[in-house]
Structure 1
Amino acid sequence: MLQLKNIKKTYNGKAVLNGIDLDIDTGEIVSILGPSGSGKTTLLNVILGLTDLDEGQIIFNGEDLSRTPMKQRGFNIVFQDYALFPNLNAYENIIYGLKNKPGVSTKREVRELIALLGLGNHLGKTVDQLSGGQKQRVALARTLVMKPRVLLLDEPLSALDGVIKESIKERIKTIASDYNLTTIIVTHDPEEALTLSDRVLILNEGGISQYSTPREIIHNPHNGFVRQFILNQLEIKRNNIFSLFEGAYA
């Protein structure tokens, strides 16, 4: 279990994160959702260890990681821009991290992961030859071969649409299930969060407005902000998302 206890972070005298308490179960997919400036990216970076917290604790399986450097936490992130190496082909990108830690994944495990992500026919392609969805899958594979204890995804679907987007969503779900991998996703898209996650954390001005299952958020928003944020953001997509939670706002 990943536990956040009273996480606080201030920039230039302004509280960006103000007392975040959170429990995330092993193998759970949790999306962090909220308007611009709500603290989503800061919270992700604090969990990763990229940003130091001012107060509070980050505890993973009973171990206090609050002051542990990022490289020693064993948490890995797939950035929004994928951060692939343009001078390497897809396969070379996937196994890049294994050069320094060759025993982390066996060749068989790498092959199985490549098959799971449907990348077998794209391994020799350069980054420029890959589609957006293929780049996303290569970035996922590169991270997963390192067997992270927690997988962090920063806007993983923002550059995708249609069938490709739905395909990546299903692969993320499969990976979390098959590997029992705790997965934390930052997204600006309520539809993404509500259809992909086991639980959704809604932030507003650095605090938690609601942390619940998607169905609970739709049927029982905790306050006016959550209700308005979800309704306003989903106005264009309401037929798509509301069909999953019949009768919520009939």
Structure 2
Amino acid sequence: MLKLQHISKHFDNKAVLDDIHVEIGTGEIVSLLGPSGSGKTTLLNLILGLTKPDRGSLEFNSVDITRFPMKKRGFNIVFQDYALFPNLNAYDNIVYGLRNKKGIVSEKEVQDYIDFLELRPHLQKRIGELSGGQKQRVALARTLVTKPNILLLDEPLSALDGVIKESIKRRIQSVAREFKLTTIIVTHDPEEALTLSDKILIIHQGKVAQFGTPQQIIHQPDNDFVRRFIIEQLHIKRQNIYNLFGESYV
């Protein structure tokens, strides 16, 4: 569905991305994982269309979209800070992006998204009255009503804790499954990537360190960086990984 072919990007003569080659299938949840400065946010921006690669190409459904502007790609993003309008209530935030997209979605479909994300009790609340999890669901609903071809999420769980974080994880997975919506997530947290994703693209110094399923990452790390990065980052988050992969991997 989405094919990145030999993508490279430089800033100030420094390689931020170097020969990224990966294919993402329809409906897959893929996390872009790596330490700060690894290039994952730049890759997200390239997919979204906010910047262009210096070399390589992007294909979506066999169409070369490398030079397509962001609006023509039909992808959409939920930003880390949600980017909601504080002067509007939850419902008005959800439908805000439809003002210039008449007919893209019916009112019934909007209401279905609202019910799917269990937002009906909160529609008349201002953004300042919502919890972090409720804000995240409003931001998801606002994105979903535009019917994106691909959903992009920038650190969607970083501001959430405990039960709320686990609830949003399940919501993201439910959205991808229910709507067969390819979902690409930027995260610096291996525990989030391993428990949320179908596949994980680990980026190190602008290169692909490994691309595979959570099971492959845990059981068959491709190199010392992957092994070290996963183990070091997970030492305080043992229980979730134990639940997924067993005690020999925590």
Could you tell me the TM-score, scaled by structure 1's length? 0.98
The runs of 5 or more residues in structure 1 that have no matched partner are none
Is contact 1:95-1:142 (8 Å) kept? Answer: yes
Q: How far 1:20 moved relative to its partner?
A: 0.2
Is contact 1:2-1:60 (8 Å) kept? Answer: yes
Aligned-partner Cα distance in 2 for 1:180–1:109: 16
Q: How far 1:102 moved relative to its partner?
A: 2.1
**Residue in 2 that maps onto 1:194:** 194
Which sits farther off after the overlay, 140-149 or 100-109? 100-109
Match for 1:249: what amino acid? Answer: Y
**Residue in 2 that maps onto 1:88:** 88
Is contact 2:195-2:240 (8 Å) kept? Answer: no
| Deviations, residues 164-184 of structure 1 (Å, cap 9, x unaligned) | 111111011111001000000
- Number of residue pairs matched? 250
Q: How far 1:112 moved relative to its partner?
A: 0.7
Aligned-partner Cα distance in 1 for 2:248–2:13: 40
Is contact 1:218-1:248 (8 Å) kept? Answer: no
Match for 1:74: what amino acid? Answer: G
Aligned-partner Cα distance in 2 for 1:248–1:213: 18
Is contact 1:32-1:201 (8 Å) kept? Answer: yes
**Residue in 2 that maps onto 1:222:** 222
Match for 2:161: what amino acid? Answer: D
**Residue in 2 that maps onto 1:30:** 30
Q: Secondary structure at the match of 2:193?
A: helix
| Deviations, residues 159-206 of structure 1 (Å, cap 9, x unaligned) | 001111111110111110010000000001111100000000000000
**Residue in 1 that maps onto 2:69:** 69
**Residue in 1 that maps onto 2:211:** 211
Match for 2:59: what amino acid? Answer: I
Aligned-partner Cα distance in 2 for 1:79–1:249: 32
Within 5 Å, give how 1:87-236 maps onto structure 2: 87-236=87-236
The runs of 5 or more residues in structure 2 that have no matched partner are none
Aligned alpha-carbon RMSD (Å): 0.9
Is contact 1:78-1:156 (8 Å) kept? Answer: yes
Is contact 2:241-2:249 (8 Å) kept? Answer: no
**Residue in 2 that maps onto 1:48:** 48
Q: How far 1:19 moved relative to its partner?
A: 0.3
Q: List structure 1 runs of 4+ shifted beyond 4 angstroms.
A: none
